[in-house]
Chain A
Amino acid sequence: MGGSPAVLGGLGVLGFLAILEVVPRIGLVDARFFPPFSEMAVALGEQLGTAGFWTDLLATLRGWFLGLAIAAGAAVLIGIAIGSSTLLRTYTASTIEFLRPIPSVALIPLAVLLYGTGMEATLLLVVYASFWQMLVQVLYGAQDVDPVTRDTARSFRFSTWRRIRSVLWPTALPYVITGFRLAASVALVLEVSGELIIGSPGIGNRLAAAQTAGAVDTLYALVIVTGVLGVLVNLLARFTERRVLRWHPSQRQEATS
């Protein structure tokens, strides 16, 4: 039944675009607020031709990357420090559980006070949100170490450093990578929202400008850009996962089947 997934997927994309084109044309929704896809595509083409668009895109990517890198570095260091000590783990659990669900956008007023509308304000949100995503994964990973392996390492009198490198890290790595994949998309969401609300430079800020100017087709074009960015971030994270975990059973199995 059915064709190959690639063909069906292609059909799905075409069908989706056709719906976007037809629905406003036959008047199901108001074309002033929901222009047909062809008009969005024209606006997208115009955007791609302006230098300002590329400057903003670069600013968004820079903020995303910087925030993610800071959060990942801090989460791995702190996560391993906490994860390798039972004492630290029991005493920090409640605090981590408390701080984690605090919505990062609650920090927007504070970020604006401290940094105005500069990129640091948005960076603060990105780092805060993606840090917790990763830290929790690192901690799960550190907990998952096989007790036999841990005891073996101990009876061989491995140094702490060696134990972290050759016992804890390989066990935690798949979790770290999952955390990274989650954090990568969360960081993008917060980067764009920060730009949108705070007004720091980037695609989100450009979107806000399009809204104020009432340029509806440009607005949709920029939303499409953010969606494409999101897809690319997911693909990149998945690709990294496969590369880094080549040795891991979950990936090896996938390759042979």
Chain B
Amino acid sequence: MTALSRAAQVLALPVLLVLAWWFATANSTSFYWPPLSEILGSVHGTWFEGRLTTDVLPSLGRLLAGYAVAVVLGVGLGVLAGSSRTFRAIAEPPLEFLRAIPPPVLVPILILLAGVGDQMKILVIATGCLWPILLNTIEGVRAVDPVLRDAAAAYRLSLPTRVRTVILRGASPQIAAGCRQALSIGLILMVISEMFAATNGLGFTTIQFQRSFAIPEMWSGIILLGVIGVLLALVFRLVEGWLLGWYHALRAAERKG
């Protein structure tokens, strides 16, 4: 396939859709659907003259902090829980229940416990992201080949080595699946926690625009949130491809053979 036809495949529909949006709203006098040109025109003035450092970066910082806490806790607890059958049987019903609580309803409770500052938002993001990572890690650790486990034990590999090379590596595809799920949950919770109680942040600012009927600015906030979602997914895929390259190659070879 030539590069040109590949580019056409990737770009044709998006370009068509943007053009359709552009022309459909070009002479729009509707208050809620301003012309796309006006929305795009407001992007620079809205976000790149100060708000990038006062709103966007703090939002992303909270997201990363919460996510990192969830990954460390989720993988750590998951390895512990996945290795003990008894612990799993005891902990499963409460864990299933906690996971089933829609994370946003914890926002009011965490406001009670941690106030309305950054701490609360990081906590909200961490508690929401924890479950998919924790449960996927448990499943992944449980599914590690027992022969491999026994072999590692028979060779008297030290515990840290065993955890790192046998358990974590064996469970890593599952762990990655959990982390991917957690990423989109984290983004949602970042926005929700800011819509609730905040003085800055992307979610807060976008809601402010809506309340003050600054419609093109509100649209630009929505678009920016979308772009951030897409970029995060892209970065995740790159990191995953780098960390799990061996696994995907293995699967591809198995499928062929």
A interface residue numbers (CB < 8 A to B): 1-2, 5, 8-13, 15-16, 29, 33-34, 90-95, 97-98, 100-110, 112-114, 185, 188-189, 192-193, 196-197, 204, 207-208, 210-211, 216, 219-220, 222-223, 226-231, 233-234
Give every chain A residue within 8 A of B112 (Cβ-Cβ).
33-34, 216, 219
A11 to B11, CA, bound (A): 56
Give every chain B residue within 8 A of A13 (Cβ-Cβ).
93-94
Give every chain A residue within 8 A of B10 (Cβ-Cβ).
93-94
- CB-nearest residue of chain A to B209: A109
Given contacts A98-B14, A193-B192, A223-B101, contact A106 B226 (CB under 8 A): yes
Given contacts A8-B89, A12-B90, contact A102 B100 (CB under 8 A): no
| Majority secondary structure, B binding face | helix
Contact count band on B: 35 or more
| Contact B195 A9, beta carbon cutoff 8 Å | no
Q: What 5 A-B pairs are tightest by C-beta distance, nearest first?
A: A230-B100, A109-B210, A8-B89, A106-B225, A102-B226
A16 to B195, CA, bound (A): 32
A101 to B101, CA, bound (A): 22
Give every chain B residue within 8 A of A105 (Cβ-Cβ).
188, 191-192, 195, 203
Contact of A2 among B89, B92, B93, B219 (CB under 8 A): B89
| Contact B90 A197, beta carbon cutoff 8 Å | no
Give every chain B residue within 8 A of A233 (Cβ-Cβ).
100
Smallest CB separation, A101 vs chain B (Å): 4
| Contact A196 B105, beta carbon cutoff 8 Å | yes
A-B contacts, 11 listed (Cβ < 8 Å): A97-B233, A101-B184, A102-B230, A103-B225, A105-B192, A113-B32, A226-B101, A228-B97, A230-B100, A231-B97, A233-B100
Given contacts A94-B11, A107-B222, contact A197 B192 (CB under 8 A): yes
A185 to B195, CA, bound (A): 22
Any chain A CB within 8 A of the CB of B229? yes
Smallest CB separation, A23 vs chain B (Å): 12
A95 to B232, CA, bound (A): 16
Q: How many A-B residue pairs have CB under 8 A?
A: 165
Any chain A CB within 8 A of the CB of B206? yes
- CB-nearest residue of chain B to A110: B222
A108 to B105, CA, bound (A): 16
Give every chain A residue within 8 A of B192 (Cβ-Cβ).
105, 193, 197
Any chain A CB within 8 A of the CB of B96? yes
Give every chain B residue within 8 A of A227 (Cβ-Cβ).
97-98, 100-101
Given contacts A109-B222, A207-B105, A226-B101, contact A12 B113 (CB under 8 A): no
A97 to B100, CA, bound (A): 27
| Contact A91 B104, beta carbon cutoff 8 Å | no
| Contact A15 B90, beta carbon cutoff 8 Å | yes
| Contact B222 A1, beta carbon cutoff 8 Å | no
A217 to B100, CA, bound (A): 20
Q: Which of B93, B98, B215 has the most CB of A within 10 A?
A: B93
Any chain A CB within 8 A of the CB of B154? no
| Contact A29 B108, beta carbon cutoff 8 Å | no
| Contact B184 A219, beta carbon cutoff 8 Å | no
Give every chain A residue within 8 A of B96 (Cβ-Cβ).
231, 234
Give every chain B residue within 8 A of A93 (Cβ-Cβ).
9-10
Q: Which of A93, A101, A110 has the most CB of B within 10 A?
A: A101
- CB-nearest residue of chain B to A212: B108
Chain B, 11-61, CB within 8 A of any chain A CB = 11-14, 17, 32
